[in-house]
C-alpha cells in the first residue's frame, strides 16, 4: 500500500537486495571483482585450521551479513586464540556472516569510495584508518580526504554501476587494492550512505540535478 502511493529512491527492491552482503556474491557472478569471500551460517562452520589457507592469508576479517560502520567486524590471526576469536565466536554462534582476507593496503593506501548520482560519476574520497586499526569509518578514528581515483578504480566502479539490478539515484562504491595488485569491491552502499558532500563543493548540485532528472522519468500514481 505504501509503495503504491509513494516514490522511494532508491527503490524498495534495491534496498532489499542491498541490505544483505550476499549482493557481493551476485556481483561476483556477474563478473565483478570482489574481495575474496567465504559465506557461513554459523561460526561452527568456520574451521580455524583451514580458513586461512583457503583465503591464502594469515589474517582474516569476519563481518555480519547485515551491518554497518564496521560493527561486529573482527580481525582474526592464524594460530592466535585472542579475545577477537572469542568475541566473534560468541556473536556469530547462531548468526550468518562472511569471512575475507585482511587487505593490507587498507592500512597503507586506504579505501576509495566513489559516488554516483543517477548512474553518473560525481566524486570520490580516500579513507584511511587510525594507526593500528583497520576500520576506515570516522566513528573509529578514520581520516578522510577528497581524492581523484586511479583509472582502474574508476573502471571497476563503472562496471559495478552497470551490473546493479536497476538504476539508482545514489550509490557509493567502496574499493580496495588487493595484495596481488588489482582493485576489488569491498562494499556497495545503496541504502542512505554518507555521500560526503563537503569534500566536493559541486556534488550537492549534481545530486539535486540527478534527482530532478529521475523524477522527470517517473510516472506518479
The reply to whether domains 1-34+103-221 and 36-102 share a CATH topology is no
Q: What is the pTM of this model?
A: 0.89
Correct CATH for 1-34+103-221 of 3.30.2350.10, 3.30.470.20, 2.40.37.10, 3.40.50.1370: 3.30.470.20
Could you state, in order of their start, the residue ranges of all structural domains in the chain?
1-34+103-221, 36-102
Report helix, strand or coil for 63: strand
Count the Cβ atoms, other than its own, within 10 Å of residue 204.
13
Given this model, what pLDDT does residue 120 score? 97
* pLDDT of res. 140: 54
Query: Tens of pLDDT along 137-184?
Result: 666 556 789 999 999 999 999 999 999 999 999 999 999 999 879 999
**Does pLDDT of 5 surpass 90?**
no
Residue 130 has pLDDT above 80, yes or no: no
CATH topology of domain 36-102: Dna Ligase; domain 1 (3.30.1490)
Residues in the chain: 221
Residue 188: how many other CB atoms lie within 10 Å:
25
Q: Compute the C-alpha angle 198/199/200, nearest 5°.
A: 95
- For the stretch 25-61, pLDDT in tens is 999 999 999 999 999 999 889 888 799 999 999 999 9
Q: Are 136 and 194 in contact (CB under 8 A)?
A: no
pLDDT of residue 177: 96
**Percent of the chain residues past pLDDT 70, beyond the cut:** 90
Mean pLDDT of 96-102: 94
CB 146 within 8 A of CB 123: yes
How high is the mean pLDDT of the chain?
89
Pick the more confident residue, 74 or 153: 153
Amino acid at each position: 500500500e505504501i509503495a503504491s502511493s509513494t516514490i522511494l529512491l532508491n527503490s524498495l527492491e534495491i534496498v532489499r537486495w542491498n541490505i544483505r552482503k550476499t549482493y557481493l556474491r551476485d556481483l561476483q557472478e556477474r563478473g565483478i571483482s570482489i574481495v575474496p569471500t567465504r559465506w557461513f551460517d554459523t561460526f561452527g562452520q568456520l574451521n580455524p585450521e583451514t580458513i586461512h589457507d583457503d583465503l591464502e592469508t594469515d589474517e582474516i576479517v569476519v563481518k555480519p551479513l547485515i551491518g554497518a560502520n564496521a560493527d561486529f567486524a573482527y580481525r582474526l590471526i592464524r594460530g592466535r586464540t585472542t579475545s577477537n576469536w572469542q568475541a566473534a565466536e560468541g556473536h556469530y554462534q547462531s548468526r550468518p556472516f562472511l569471512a575475507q582476507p585482511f587487505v593490507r593496503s587498507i592500512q597503507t593506501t586506504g579505501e576509495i569510495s566513489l559516488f554516483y548520482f543517477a548512474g553518473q560519476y560525481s566524486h570520490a574520497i580516500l579513507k584511511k584508518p587510525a594507526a593500528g586499526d583497520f576500520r576506515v569509518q570516522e566513528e573509529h578514528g578514520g581520516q578522510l580526504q577528497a581524492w581523484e581515483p586511479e583509472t582502474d578504480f574508476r573502471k571497476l566502479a563503472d562496471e559495478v554501476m552497470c551490473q546493479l539490478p536497476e538504476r539508482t539515484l545514489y550509490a557509493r562504491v567502496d574499493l580496495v587494492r588487493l595484495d596481488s595488485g588489482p582493485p576489488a569491491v569491498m562494499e556497495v552502499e545503496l541504502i542512505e550512505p554518507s555521500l560526503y558532500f563537503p569534500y566536493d563543493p559541486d556534488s550537492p548540485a549534481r545530486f539535486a540535478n540527478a534527482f530532478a532528472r529521475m523524477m522527470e522519468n517517473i510516472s506518479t500514481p
